[in-house]
A and B are shown apart, each in its own frame.
Chain A
Amino acid sequence: MRFQIQRYNPETDKTPYLKEYELTDIPIGMMLRDALLQIKAQDESFTFRHSCGEGVCGSDAMNINGTNGLACLTPVSKLAEPIVVRSVPGMPIIRDLVVDMSQFYHHYRAIKPYLIVHDPMPEVELRQSPEDRDKLDGLYECILCGCCTTACPSFWWNPDKFRGPAALLQAYRFLADSRDQATNERLQDLDGPYRMFRCHTIMNCVTVCPKGLNPTAAIHKIKTLMLKEMI
């Protein structure tokens, strides 16, 4: 099986380039992450991020044959050859497939990804009805792998100002939470031409999300909430 893997060493290379590798032993059900580990055994200078190997940690987001995804959840048998693996687009490359995610985390921190409660804290935990808890389904599952945000053209054009689909999905996760009391502040913070309204419903985020989540729907719900608050 033929692979073309993006390689980049900042000390020796001016720009990233693709390097050919060949694997002969492909067991049934082999995921791309396993293949990359075999390639790393061939060529120890190659590096990529990975950890849990089962789509929970979100470390091995990469661009596989032109589409973002998690290497650990992508079976090589479903990929056309040569399998072209690059780092996720729109992020500064540190080395090979490893990118600098600082900008991504900056936007995540900026939406205040924690409950804000103005009332005095109760002595027991904050209660929530099962119905209210259900409203967080499809939101809390995000593993922050960055597949969606780095597939978003709006994020490519304005990475410093547009929050990106991952952060906006999380913004709605806290807006939708019955225990959160900062609805108005959160909405005010997302107004303006850049932070949320750069989204043009391109929906690349929905296509690539390895967890099957829908940031576009979440962004739409934030807009609906804003409208309700205004009226």
Chain B
Amino acid sequence: MSWRAQGLRTWLLQRLSAVYMLLFAVSFGIYLLQHRPIDYTWWSDLFTRPAVVVASLLFFAALLYHAWVGVRDIMVDYIHDTVIRFTLWILVTLFLIAMGSWVSLILLSMVEI
């Protein structure tokens, strides 16, 4: 088995992305609960810190990758026409790339380096 083993690699990365999302969501949630009440200045200050922005960017990367593999799995299960599946997959990929770019733009515009 090598890293080029496609089925294993996709499955493993999807699992790892889930672990990261879980860790991030839980720890971020606890952090937010500890800093109640949260107001706009506190929230926008939080996202000026590079560590928070990088962790959030990683979270969205994990989320989009996880969704990408998940949607592909559903399409492989249910859509057996190659042309339709390929077209839909391209559309999903473009949509996820657009979402990723948008969230990156927002997060990077806030960070103070």
Binding site for B on A (CB under 8 A): 153-154, 157-158, 184, 187-188, 190-198, 200, 223, 226-227, 229-230
Query: Given known contacts A184-B1, A230-B2, is B7 in contact with A191 (CB within 8 Å)?
Result: yes
The count of A-to-B residue pairs whose CB atoms sit within 8 angstroms is 47
List 13 A–B pairs whose Cβ atoms lie within 8 Å, in order of A's numbering: A157-B77, A157-B78, A188-B1, A188-B5, A191-B1, A191-B5, A191-B7, A193-B6, A193-B7, A193-B10, A223-B8, A227-B12, A230-B8
Option from A154, A157, A195, A229 in Cβ contact (under 8 Å) with B1: A229
Residue of B nearest to A225 (CB): B1
Contacts of A200 in B (CB 8 A): 73
Number of contact residues on B: which range applies?
Answer: 10 to 19
Main secondary structure of the interface of B (DSSP, over half): helix
Q: A193: shortest Cβ distance to chain B, in Å?
A: 5
**Which residue of A158, A192, A227 is within 8 Å of B77 (Cβ)?**
A158
Which B84-107 residues have C-beta < 8 A from chain A? none
Secondary structure class of chain A's binding surface, majority of residues: helix
B residues touching A (Cβ–Cβ < 8 Å)?
Answer: 1-3, 5-8, 10-12, 73, 76-78
- What are the residues of chain B within 8 A of A184 when measuring CB–CB? 1
Q: How far is the CB of A163 from chain B (nearest CB, A)?
A: 12
B15 (CB) vs chain A CBs: closest residue: A223
